Structure 1
Amino acid sequence: MPIRFFLIVNKQGQTKLSKYYPLKDGSIVALEKRIPMEGEISRRCLRRKDNQVRYASLFFILGCDPGENELGMMEFVHCCVETLDHYFQSVVMYNIEKVHILLDEMIVNNYIVEHSKMKIVEPVQAMDKAR
């Protein structure tokens, strides 16, 4: 399941996290295209009702190729939410660098490689202990 981008947007429409992955040709979406794209995606999310696809006042948005397994993508978003909740004790993120590390444990070369919360948080917990 190739992932193109992962966004976390709050209910005010502010992008709290954006992570882009290389396209098939190895390029990444240009910065000047990201801002308007994120704005349009945010506007579409904000039009949804409160009970639709939102966790703790945040929208978790996954960009993938058309025709991908939507249920698989929704499962992955749910895994991300559970992992962040497990590590931070809430879905609210205080340390964005650690969120990037956690995502890097889940997604490698555009593909989802890990679903186990315990395995995903192990490296970050090891870094925490080393301090």
Structure 2
Amino acid sequence: MIKFLLIVNRQGQLRLRKYFEEKVVTHGEQREIIRQCLSAVDKQNFLVEFKDFTVVYKKYGNLYFIAGITSNENELAVLELMHHMVETLDKYFDRVSEIDILYSLDRVHMVIDEMVVNGYILETSQPRILVPLQLLDVARK
């Protein structure tokens, strides 16, 4: 199960926070998780053990995607989910950037909500994930 998802920039500034369980980390613990992920010496490593869960992270451009997962969740599946999330956002925003995430936070949350429900991966089909966003865009015009 995925407990939380964070998106931060290279300076460690939080750009998105999504909890799938009651707040599992305090603000201080969240800063510590971000610090550990940003300061990883081994660039091949994508895991950090923290408290009673595992933190999976991946850098895409200037952004770090960080997920806290339970011990029974597959780390590689979560990495694949992050990659798929970035590809979906790239397709929607035509090369997603930190600015897109900042100014279209509702759209990013919609993509995450379509992909992950209650901490479990539900949908991976990019066209199905983008349909609600495209319908919303059409309705706004």
- Fold shared per TM-score above 0.5: yes
* Aligned pairs for 1:49-60 within 5 A: 53-60=58-65
Gaps of 5+ in 2: 45-57
- Aligned equivalents of 2:9, 2:29: Cα separation in 1: 16
Partner of residue 52, structure 2: none
* Aligned pairs for 1:1-131 within 5 A: 2-22=1-21, 28-29=22-23, 33-48=25-40, 53-92=58-97, 93=101, 94-131=103-140
- Aligned equivalents of 1:79, 1:34: Cα separation in 2: 28
Answer whether contact 1:15 1:38 (CA < 8 A) is retained: no
- Aligned equivalents of 2:135, 2:110: Cα separation in 1: 12
Residue identity opposite 1:9 in structure 2: V
Identity of aligned residues (%): 46
Residue 122 of structure 1 deviates from its aligned partner by: 0.7
Residue identity opposite 1:86 in structure 2: K
Of Structure 1 and Structure 2, which has the larger fraction of its residues in strand?
2
Which protein has greater RCO, CA pairs closer than 8 Å, 6+ apart? Answer: 1
Specify the SS of the correspondent of 1:54.
Answer: strand
Specify the SS of the correspondent of 2:96.
Answer: coil
Answer whether contact 2:2 2:73 (CA < 8 A) is retained: no
Q: Please give the per-residue CA displacement for 1:29-49, whole angstroms capped at 9, x wherever unaligned.
A: 16xx43112211111122135
- Aligned equivalents of 2:107, 2:66: Cα separation in 1: 18
Answer whether contact 1:56 1:91 (CA < 8 A) is retained: no
How many residue pairs get aligned? The number is 123
Residue 51 of structure 1 deviates from its aligned partner by: 5.5
Residue identity opposite 1:103 in structure 2: I
Normalised TM-score (structure 1)? 0.86
Deviates more, 1:90-99 or 1:80-89: 90-99
Structure 1 stretches of 4+ with a deviation exceeding 2 A read 48-53
Normalised TM-score (structure 2)? 0.80
Q: 1:129 to 1:40 in 2, by over 3 A?
A: same
- Aligned equivalents of 2:14, 2:89: Cα separation in 1: 17
Aligned CA RMSD, in angstroms, stands at: 1.7
Gaps of 5+ in 1: 23-27
Specify the SS of the correspondent of 2:3.
Answer: strand
